[in-house]
Chains A and B, each alone.
Chain A
Amino acid sequence: MLLVLCESDDQAALWAGEGLLDRGLPVELVTADDLAQAVRWKHRLGSAGTASEVVLGDGRVLDSTGVTGTLNRLVTTPPWQLAAASEVDREYAAQEVFSLWLSWLWSLPGPMLNRPTPQGLSGCWRHDSEWAVLAAQAGLRTPTYQMTSSEPNGRQLVPDGELDEERVATSFVVGRRVVAGPQQAGIAEGCRRLATASRTALLGVDLIEHQLGGWTFLQASPTPELRLGGDAILDALAAELRAP
C-alpha cells in the first residue's frame, strides 16, 4: 500500500495520486479529514520497534506493516476536529493530536516524501531567512533578506525590482533527481545541495530570472505545486517511492 496523505483540497496531491496509480502503484488516498475522523488509533513502540493500526471512519484499516511508501503532503491537523473541546483544552488537544500524527508518520516504513519533522508534518517549514542562508551555502545566487523588529515581516529584495511571475520557474528535487526548472549550469546541482542541506527529499525551488540573464533563488517548499512538473515529476515520484 502506497499512502498518499494530503488535505482534502490539495489538488496537486490528488493529481499526483492519480498519476502514481496510472504507473501501477497501489495508491491509498487518505486525507487529513479521514485521519481526524479515525475511530481507532493504536500506535505502539518499544523493544520490538514500532507498529500502528489506524481504523478510519469508512472502515479502511491502515496497518503499518502493509505500508510500502508514502507521499506525505499533510500540513496540519484539522481544527474542526477539536471544535467540541473547551477553550482551555483546545490548544492542549491540538498539540496532542499533532504529536501523535508526527510520531505515527515518522514510524511508517518505506520511502516517504517527505518525512515529518516537529516543524511541519510533511517536512520542515523554514523561515525565508533560513532558506536565504541555506540556498547561498548550496551555491545558488540569493536575494538580500532583511528583518527588523520595527516591521511585522521580513523583506526579500527581489532582483530587478518588482516580482514578475512570468520570470519565475520551479525546479523539483525528488531524492537525487532534479526535474524541470532552469537549464542554467549549476542550478540543478545547487537545488540538489539545498534539498540535502534542508533534509527535504521532495523540494520545490522557485527561481527568478534576471532581466539581463541568470537565475536567483526566490523560495523553497516541501509541498510544491507538483502539477508544474508534469509527467517528469510523476515518473520521478514513482521511481523514488518504489525504491526498497
Chain B
Amino acid sequence: MILLCGIPSEPPLAMVRAELERLEAPYVVLSQRRAAEARMSFEVRAGRVTGVLELDGSTWPLEFFDGVYTRLMDDRLLPELKGLPDGSAAATHSRQLHETLTRWCEISPARVVNRAEPMGSNMSKPFQAQLIARHGLIVPETIVTSDPEAVRSFAAQHGDLVYKSISGVRSIVRQLEAADLARLEDVRWCPVQFQELVRGQDVRVHTIGAEVFATAIVSDAVDYRYAHREGGDAKLEETDLDPALSQRCVDLAASLGLAFAGIDLRVTPDGRVYCFEVNPSPAFSYYESHTGQPIANAVARHLCGMAASGSL
C-alpha cells in the first residue's frame, strides 16, 4: 500500500498517482485540503513503530504502508485555513496532523520519498556545495561575504558573477550587473552569495534510486527556470550522461540520503561538469511534460519496491 501526501491536483503528485493506477498498485491519498477530516496516531514500543491513519471513514494501519510520497505544502498556507486566527481549532488540528505525519515519516520503515532530515542539506547552498565537492563534481568558485571590496576583488579574479540566496528561500539566480555594483554597500547589512558565472549547457538529472533521467536545457537565461519571466525561452530534451557521471549522480543522491533527487549540472564547452545544487523535492513534472521521460513511473515503481534501485 502506498500513501500519497499533498495536494492531489499538484502535477508531480497527480502524475505519480496516475502511474500507481497504471501499475495497479493500491494507494491512499492524504489530501492536505481535507486535513480536517483526517486523524493519525502512532506509537514507538521497543523500537517498533505502529499506528493508524483515519481517512474517509476508513482506518489504515500505518504498518500497511510500504511507500510514502510526500509533496506537502506549508500547511499554514492552506486555503481552508485562510482568515482563521492562529490557535483556531481547525488550524491547530491541521498543524498537529502535519506534525504527526512528518514525525512518523522520519521513523517509518517504509520507503519515504523523501524524509525531512536529508532534505535539509538544500537549505544552505554553500553547505550542500561542500558535500557535493566530495563526490568529484566541480562546484563554482563562491564567496559569501558582507564586504563590498571582497566582491570587487572576487570579480576581478573570476570575471562575470552571479548572485543568489545562501538559503533555499527566494532562490533566484541573477547576473551581477553595473546597477548591482552601485548598491554593493548593501551587503554590509546581510552577507550575500556570489559565484563565478559558469557558461555552458544546463542538465537537470533526476535520480530515483539507481535510475537516472537526464534532461538538457537550451536557454539564454541565467536561470532557465525563470526564462519566460525574463522574456526568454527554454527548450528541454532528453540526453544521455556518461556512465561515470551518471554513477556519480546516483552516489551523490544516496550519500545525501535522498531516494529521489533533482541534480542541477552545467557542462562547459571544454567538458567540465559543474554541479550547482541537489533539489530534494524535485518538481519533475516540468521536465517529464517536455521530454516524455518516465520519471513519475520510476517514482511509482520505487514506492512499490519494484525499482531496480537500492533501498533508501
Residues of A within 8 A of B (CB): 38-47, 50, 91-93, 95-100, 102-103, 106-107, 116-119, 124, 127, 129-130, 132-133, 135-137, 142, 144-152, 154
Q: Are B106 and A148 within 8 A (Cβ)? A: no
- SS class of chain B's interface: helix, strand, loop or mixed? mixed
Q: Which residue of A lies closest to B102 (CB)?
A: A127
Known: A96-B191, A130-B106. A103 touches B169 (CB 8 A): no
Residues of B within 8 A of A (CB): 38-49, 92-93, 96-97, 99-101, 103-104, 106-107, 117, 120-121, 123-127, 129-130, 133, 138-147, 150, 165-170, 190-191
Rounded to whole angstroms, the CA-CA distance of A38 and B143 in the bound complex is 17
Q: Are A47 and B41 within 8 A (Cβ)? A: no
Closest 10 CB pairs of A and B: A136-B47, A118-B120, A148-B41, A99-B124, A46-B141, A103-B126, A95-B167, A99-B167, A103-B127, A149-B97
Rounded to whole angstroms, the CA-CA distance of A127 and B45 in the bound complex is 15
Known: A50-B130, A129-B106, A149-B38. A102 touches B124 (CB 8 A): yes
Give the chain A neighbours of B168 by CB distance below 8 A. 95
New A-B contacts (19) at CB < 8 Å, excluding given A96-B190, A118-B120, A130-B106: A45-B139, A46-B141, A47-B138, A92-B169, A96-B167, A118-B117, A118-B127, A129-B42, A129-B107, A133-B44, A137-B47, A142-B47, A145-B44, A145-B45, A146-B42, A146-B43, A148-B39, A149-B93, A151-B96
Q: Are A41 and B41 within 8 A (Cβ)? A: no
Q: Are A100 and B138 within 8 A (Cβ)? A: no
Rounded to whole angstroms, the CA-CA distance of A171 and B4 in the bound complex is 41
Q: Are B49 and A133 within 8 A (Cβ)? A: yes
Q: CB within 8 A of A41: which of B39, B106, B146, B167?
A: B146
What's the minimum C-beta distance from B80 to chain A, rounded to whole angstroms? 15
Q: CB within 8 A of B41: which of A50, A124, A133, A149?
A: A149
Rounded to whole angstroms, the CA-CA distance of A15 and B124 in the bound complex is 31
Known: A133-B49, A146-B43. A99 touches B166 (CB 8 A): yes
Rounded to whole angstroms, the CA-CA distance of A146 and B42 in the bound complex is 6
Q: List 10 A-B contacts (CB under 8 A).
A: A47-B138, A98-B167, A99-B124, A102-B123, A103-B125, A145-B43, A149-B93, A149-B99, A149-B101, A150-B39
Known: A95-B123, A103-B126, A127-B103. A40 touches B146 (CB 8 A): yes
Rounded to whole angstroms, the CA-CA distance of A148 and B43 in the bound complex is 9
Q: Which residue of A lies closest to B118 (CB)?
A: A118
Rounded to whole angstroms, the CA-CA distance of A93 and B166 in the bound complex is 10
Q: Are A45 and B129 within 8 A (Cβ)? A: yes
Rounded to whole angstroms, the CA-CA distance of A132 and B47 in the bound complex is 6
Q: Which residue of B lies closest to A149 (CB)?
A: B97
Q: CB within 8 A of A103: which of B100, B144, B165?
A: B144
Give the chain B neighbours of A100 by CB distance below 8 A. 124, 126, 144, 166, 191
